[in-house]
Chain A
Amino acid sequence: AQTVTQSQPEMSVQEAETVTLSCTYDTSESDYYLFWYKQPPSRQMILVIRQEAYKQQNATENRFSVNFQKAAKSFSLKISDSQLGDAAMYFCAYRSAREVNNDMRFGAGTRLTVKP
């Protein structure tokens, strides 16, 4: 079974600085999707960025970018120019591309604090 591991329960960053959140996953499959979700205090899970495993190019969405290392099964999230509104729980998620309606596996999350 696929597992997703986020080894950093908590991280903090100074406003305007850059922070990297780590995520590793375990799978025997070659085709899958990876996601980062943000859950602010409002509790709504918001999709931040997604990556298709067959694409070598790292995904980027404004200040958010990923470092996808397929061989190492690593999928880290970099937040540049951190803002106070970035403070939230961040979840890494994996989904197989092989089956319909299969489970999206989530990591345990990393709580990010942004210091003014």
Chain B
Amino acid sequence: ETGVTQTPRHLVMGMTNKKSLKCEQHLGHNAMYWYKQSAKKPLELMFVYNFKEQTENNSVPSRFSPECPNSSHLFLHLHTLQPEDSALYLCASSQDGMGETGIYFGEGSWLTVV
């Protein structure tokens, strides 16, 4: 059982759709992250929130819009995506923004854009 839960686990959407990925952490952490994992590429950091404040936006296109209403929940709103956005999206959390004890990942949301 994971302390970081992601829903949905699988999502298929058209390029004109609007959908959202949800992440919830039950670890009492204060920092949350979105990572993108594509085939044959290293994990890419997309966004970081620390105490609900966005502190990192790693040059992510505006068709990805994060939202962090509180320290336990993180959303990734998706709009007008492209087929190359198909990937595994991993949510993670850490005790604080330093992450010295490591960051803890959810099981990921598989996104397919058709």
Contacts and interface: CB of A to CB of B under 8 A. Distances in A.
A60 to B, nearest CB: 16
Interface residues of B, number: 29
Interface in B90-114: 90, 92, 96-108, 110
Contact-residue bracket for chain A? 20 to 34
Given A44-B106, A106-B43, A107-B42, A101 B101 contact: no
A46 B90 CA distance: 12
Interface in A35-56: 35, 37, 42-47, 50, 52
A95 interface: yes
29 contacts: A35-B102, A37-B105, A42-B107, A43-B107, A43-B108, A43-B110, A44-B106, A44-B107, A45-B92, A45-B105, A46-B105, A47-B102, A47-B104, A50-B101, A50-B102, A52-B100, A91-B43, A95-B99, A95-B100, A97-B98, A100-B50, A100-B55, A100-B98, A101-B50, A101-B97, A103-B56, A108-B40, A108-B41, A109-B42
